[in-house]
Structure 1
Amino acid sequence: MAFKEFLTQYSRLEICNLTPDALTEDALSYWNTIKFDGGWRRGSTAGGCRNNPNTFWINPQYKITLLEEDDDPDDNELACSFLVALMQKDRRRYRRQGQDMHTIGFAVYEYKGCQNVHLKKDFFLTHGSCARSETFINLREVSTRLRLPPGEYIIVPSTFEPSKEADFVLRVFTEKQSETEELDEQVTADLEDEEEMTEDDVEDSFKAMFQQLAGEDMEISVHELRTILNRVVGRLYSQKDGSARLGLVEFQILWNKIRKWLGIFRQYDLDKSGTMSSYEMRLALESAGFKLNNKINQVLVARYADKDMIDFDNFISCIVKLEVMFRFFKHIDTDGTGTAEMTLTEVSSGTRAHARKEGTNPVTNWTGREKD
């Protein structure tokens, strides 16, 4: 077929399964390629597009550092060419279940001096995008070729609407050398030292309240504690003395922690409804001292959220279990390397054995709702 006839008969040509590599005269021109597998999960990492400023920041974020400008003698512009391709996975399989393709796209932000941490809402409220996909569209893949000056940039892939779940593949092709990585938190916990207290340190007013609640034996059982805290506490299995009861000092320490966590919860319960949005869970846990990555946040929201909302019961349950696990890991990671080996016996006994051995404070091992 002659080329002129081809142009007459066809208006669009799609080429599949080829990289951007192209022939330049007699030499091959290769592109650098990097691929990321990610996902949007309702309540934790599915924030929607820039039209949703309160949740856009929770989408997965990827940093690209453009190091060298293009070698184009006919172009006086100092710029780096790169191609961003976003593909949603397995949607054709879900089409059989009546689900169509999600509307997807991405935005690119310039950020100098990025510290390799997940950017928060304030950044996106005060910075506009420097590039974006040509459109948000319900196709399997969206791709756009961009040219930007050398520097550091953040790519944020998203669905158009929030709370749309899907897995995706993000590919970045660059003509010149570049550095690309996912922006995510390093998992850490700022655990306070266990509070040391004697009965002499407890205020008289608190002693009187405790005596009224505890009765003649001056100890509070699990069932009494559950009633006192309005079903916030549902299960206790370790205290400093190894029993299933709280003494005056133990209850004072527990009470202090509950007041601290209640203050954090109220800070993110914006409408004072007794629940907070699961999209705020990451920030609330950071306020409590826990920095967690996307994968852990997805698991926690799936575990503790109900219709994208988290009540105080579940918030406390989540914090308590996180504190237990971090303290247990710190105990077995004797070298402080961030990795640890456990025997089958240690895995089986878990944090219960550690708590009894170390005398863990009771607040570090109770939950507000019985769950597997």
Structure 2
Amino acid sequence: MPNRTHLQTSLAGTFSAALFAFASMNSYADEVIAKIAVAGPTTGQLASLGKDVQNSGELAIDELNAKNIVVNGKRVRFELVAADDGADPRVGTIVAQRLVDDHVVAVVGHINSGVAIPASRIYSQAGIPFISSGASNPTLTAQNLKNTFRVVADDNAQARGMVQFLSGQLKAKRIGLVDDRTAYGQGLGDQVAKDAGESGIAVTREFTNDKAVDFRAILTSLKSTQPDAIVLASTDAIASPFVKQMKTLGMTRVRFVGGDGICTENWVRVAASAAEGEYCTQTGAPLDQLPGSKEFVQKYEARFNQPPQYFGPYTYDSVMVVGEAIRKAGSLDPLKLIDALHSVDYSGVTGRIEFDNKGDQKYAAVSVYQVKSQKITSLGVVGKM
């Protein structure tokens, strides 16, 4: 539940939110326009992930328009507003304010926790619903902002799954743990360290940053502790040189495990043979095990001539959930949409979606993967929230 201060802020902003709602609907004779924003890093190191988010948003907007949703006797025409947050918290807050000023009815995306967390506060102040399709730091929903939701498991769940895999399948007794000090990396790293310690795994911890390219000093230090595995809490751009340097330093028998920020085809492509046999986790079930994956993949590939990546299905479902909230509320008023999202029960590509009182997805899963023949191959679900 939101705290008293936030409720007071929301009530005080009701009048401005009402004006906002009217401004967000450009009315024509028999239709109203609803702008839904999809935000992600379409430039920079994570551009491929951001483009996947944008593509999936486009597919969802087309699907919503085909549904002919009616509000107050008028057909709703959905429009996508694509925003590049550059995976940068500073840029992300600028983008968030611009989307508020553009009178969007909801925002989907901001897959990086470091961007999503500060952006969520801006959307909260404006009374706009926000659904993250990738940010996994628990802080996002722990803020008790009534407008903020998440469709993937948080890092507490992901860390539990990683540690379960490390202690179970890999039989690890000692691990090296490296995070990049971003909100995502540090959050996941902290939880892995906690859960590993409670499971009896000895942890040696090191730190880097999200712009680093040389990890030889860190790896040499970790090598001296004779770890069974090294866990990296960062992104695919960092993981590629990291795992290459592991192999260069002769750490061929030390297993590598990365989180969902690493578990991409881009990591495998850039790391090449160095990634072979290594592991990563994702907050969600494998794509081929998602209920609506076959149809989604077919539509995506037909439209964009490439397969979807991890965040695509979750972004698609998030946009569709906004559409369901509009249908359920019978309104484009963002405050009414927020209320509708708290009671929505939607079955999508990724499965059943309901949100708990914090805004977290009730049915999120965690899966583990291994690189085999230069393909990220599912080893199955290792845990659910």
TM-score, normalization by structure 1: 0.24
Whose helix proportion is higher, 1 or 2? 2
Q: Looking at CA atoms only, which structure, 1 or 2, has the larger radius of gyration?
A: 1
